[in-house]
Amino acid sequence: MAMKLSYDGVFAIITLDRPDALNALRFQMLEALSDAVDEVAASDARALIVVGAGDKAFCAGADIKELMNRSLMEQRRGAQLGQCAFGKISKLPIPSVAVIHGYAFGGGLELAMGCTFRIATERARMGLPEIKLGLIPGYGGTQRLPRLIGEARALEMVMSGRTVDAKEAERWGLVNRIVEDGDPLTLGKQFMSEFIGYGLCASQFAREAVERGMETTVEAGLAIEADLSTLAYQTQDAVEGMTAFVEKRKPEFKDA
């Protein structure tokens, strides 16, 4: 299937497993990815880690050979399939990270942008090179990239197709952090361990406040924040968190 879903303790792991083609995404892989994300959503996993097999690439994008000679409607369905699969990752109730340890181009970078976080090793190279093929990004790149790094830089990347290295990507906010080279899965686990000890209610409300706020005005965003922060006070986890502080002990969150 060239895509694997596995679990390791609290972590769900999606591995793009087509290293001979630099993990290029065939449509079948997008379908499998979409199903895998549904499965993760229904699981007890606390975080999702997305990695690419092999040491050269996270993912070199959509499979260019497969993109050729398709009808207009097939292409539209293809775009919707990719958008839907990556959109599902972005809407998961748990946080996700893409570990970029080599190339992340086109659909590969769009997949990474669907994740909550991106980390990169020094060797990482990223870009949306669709324009070089006479195309434009079709799996969310034109929408998620400007929200992450701003309109001017996004236009620079989309309209030139140029490759950015890990340092530039970190400076621009395309990746959260540059990490020392190593096994991508271990790097992902290390990074995600910062997020998994907290209750899901607070974690989800926090993310929702930020993400919904990004889609609207500051004023409307503040109203969302007021509602969600008030809602957080109503949870048992909030009572437990504040009580544990006063009692000088570690809180035991129950996601309730």
Chain residues that interact with ligand DAK, rule: CB under 6 A = 21-22, 24, 60-65, 67, 75, 78-79, 103, 105-107, 129-130, 133, 135, 138
Beta bridge partners of 99: 119
CB of 233 to ligand DAK, least distance (A): 44
Q: Which of 31, 39, 66, 130 is catalytic?
A: 130
Instruction: Assess contact for 25 and 107: CB atoms under 8 A.
Output: yes
Residue 130 is among the residues annotated as catalytic for this protein? yes
Beta bridge partners of 25: 62
The angle at the Cα of 186, spanning 171 to 189, to the nearest 5 degrees, equals 75
CB of 126 to ligand DAK, least distance (A): 11
Which stretches does DSSP call E strand in the chain?
Answer: 3-8, 11-16, 47-52, 57-59, 96-100, 103-105, 117-121, 125-127, 164-165, 177-179
End-to-end Cα spacing for the chain: 37
Which amino acid would we find at residue 136?
A: I
Identity of the residue, 95 or 138, whose beta carbon is nearer to ligand DAK in the bound complex: 138
CB of 228 to ligand DAK, least distance (A): 35
Instruction: Find where tokens 């599902």 sit.
Output: 88
Q: Are strands 11-16 and 3-8 parallel, antiparallel or unpaired?
A: antiparallel
Beta bridge partners of 16: 3, 52
CB of 133 to ligand DAK, least distance (A): 6
Distances from the Cα of 13 to the Cα of 16, 39, 99, 122, 256, angstroms: 10, 11, 11, 22, 25
Q: Which of 31, 39, 74, 110 is catalytic?
A: 110
Instruction: Assess contact for 42 and 34: CB atoms under 8 A.
Output: no
Residue 168 is among the residues annotated as catalytic for this protein? no
Residue, CB closest to ligand DAK: 106
CB of 73 to ligand DAK, least distance (A): 11
Instruction: Give catalytic residues, as residue numbers.
Output: 110, 130
